[in-house]
């Protein structure tokens, strides 16, 4: 699932007027309607969080994981979820200031895959006890 998250970062996250942008270019999308984009760098941090989750999940998948790694993976999943929610907020906007951007498939796939990874981390902890 971490591979799906990594692939979704390169899929279109936002579109407007026939243009689309992936997660790494959301600040360019924001420049179309906002003078000061705030989403710069979030995709790189989400990429790093996903790689850390992948590295924490490999020993678990091989059956050689430690219980503490599963706990750390759970908190890293929560951090990734918060980053995804922040990036989704930049794409969709707020009730007071809606964004003219349309959400893309990458945003949806990343959220769904993140929920699956979070569920897997919980199941991994429950299985180890």
Helix (H) or strand (E) holding 15, with range, is strand 14-16
Parse the chain into domains and list their residue ranges. 1-8+59-129
Predicted TM-score of the model (pTM):
0.79
**DSSP assignment, residue 11?**
S
Q: What is the per-residue pLDDT across 45-98, written as a single tens digit (0 to 9) for each?
A: 888 888 888 777 777 666 776 777 778 888 888 888 888 888 888 888 878 888
Pairwise CA distance, residues 68 & 66, whole Å: 5
């Amino acid at each position: 699932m971490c591979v799906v998250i990594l692939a979704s970062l390169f899929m279109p996250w936002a579109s407007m007027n026939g243009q689309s942008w992936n997660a790494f270019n959301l600040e360019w999308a924001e420049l179309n309607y906002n003078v000061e984009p705030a989403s710069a760098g979030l995709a790189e941090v989400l990429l790093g969080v996903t790689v850390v989750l992948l590295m924490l999940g490999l020993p678990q998948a091989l059956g050689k994981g430690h219980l503490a790694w599963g706990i750390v993976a759970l908190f890293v999943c929560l951090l990734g979820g918060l980053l995804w929610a922040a990036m989704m907020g930049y794409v969709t906007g707020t009730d007071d200031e809606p964004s003219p951007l349309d959400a893309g498939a990458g945003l949806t796939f990343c959220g769904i895959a993140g929920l699956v990874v979070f569920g897997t981390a919980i199941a991994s902890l429950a299985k180890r006890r």
